[in-house]
Amino acid sequence: MAAASAFASIGGRATVNLSILFAELPLLERPAAAAAAGFTSAELWWPFATQAVPGKAQLDALRNAFKDAGLRLSGLNLLDDLSAGAKGTVSLPAASERFRQNLPVAAALAESLGAGGLNALYGNRIAGADPAAQDQLALKNLTLAARAAHSIGAVLLIEALNRDDAPDYPLHTAAGAVAVVDRVNAATGLGNAKFLCDLYHLSVNGEQLEAVIDTHADRIGHVQIADNPGRHQPGTGSLDLAALLDRLTAAGYTGPIGLEYRPAAGGSADSFDWLPRELRAAR
């Protein structure tokens, strides 16, 4: 395992993904568990399964869980339908109305908890559907999403996923995701669409991570990490994540670092030995 001091550059920037970490606990108990582990910032996939518009009681309960724990929400997925096997909804004709209904709800939740990023997973290719038509729909929906994010002072994030877990997802490269980012920014003129650089997904796809950082640093709006293979905590695989994070910082990225991994063994609280407690609290 890499020496803990190697991760000094993450200090003040860590945000723990509560959809994959502390998943052994009910959702509403995870913010307090993250706070007990020393974190002050967390991110979430869409936390209400396929519900585009949860009830007020559900939304209030989640808000209160974060506020009671003293935790800020750093980022939130827009309606992603991950629980139903989808990988986002922006390019899916059958989900388009639900996606648009979700936008003001997700934006309000994000704003109320201080989130600076909304992540819009692109959605899988649909058998029998015209890919060009899906891309056209995605651009329309991402344009709406970018405006919703802008209204709360947030960025819209667009992510590449790995081919093994998401073979039907069309964005498998950094260049492909950044091309969508550029199209959205051209359509809105806002410039708030950014690339979500997940080092694990890109590594699984065989990308040269140093080249990705050097080429696309100016487009990166969020970073997520897990080691490869396994998608576990740093030090369990072959990625030199400490060096990659240092390279990102040197390239000008100073934003959040999302810890989006599954513990290799044991509970989530036991998986943070690689990151000293004094480095876990966000600025």
What's the pLDDT score for residue 110?
A: 98
Helix (H) or strand (E) holding 198: strand 193-198
DSSP letters spanning 129-177 = S-HHHHHHHHHHHHHHHHHHHHHTT-EEEEE---TTT-TT-S--SHHHH
283 residues of the chain, pLDDT tens digit each: 444 469 999 999 999 999 999 999 999 999 999 999 999 999 999 999 999 999 999 999 999 999 999 999 999 999 999 999 999 999 999 999 999 999 999 999 999 999 999 999 999 999 999 999 999 999 999 999 999 999 999 999 999 999 999 999 999 999 999 999 999 999 999 999 999 999 999 999 999 999 999 999 999 999 999 999 999 999 999 999 999 999 999 999 999 999 999 999 999 999 999 999 999 999 8
Q: Kindly report, residue by residue over 78-111, the tens digit of the pLDDT.
A: 999 999 999 999 999 999 999 999 999 999 999 9
| Measured distance CA(219)–CA(194) in Å, rounded | 5
Question: Residue 280 carries which side chain, given as an amino acid letter?
Answer: R
What's the pLDDT score for residue 3?
A: 43
E strands within 32-166?
41-44, 72-77, 117-119, 155-159
Helix (H) or strand (E) holding 239: none
What's the pLDDT score for residue 200?
A: 98
**Residue 28 lies in domain:** 4-279
Is the previous residue joined to 229 through a cis bond, with omega within 30 degrees of 0? yes
What's the pLDDT score for residue 73?
A: 98
What's the pLDDT score for residue 5?
A: 62
88: helix, strand or coil: strand
How many domains, in total, are found in the chain? Answer: 1
Residues annotated catalytic, as ranges: 159, 260
Query: 123 Cβ partners below 8 Å, 6+ apart?
Result: 86, 87, 88, 89, 90, 91, 92, 95, 134, 138, 169
Whether the predicted model's global pTM rises above the 0.95 cut: yes
What's the pLDDT score for residue 1?
A: 40
Output the domain CATH number for residue 92: 3.20.20.150
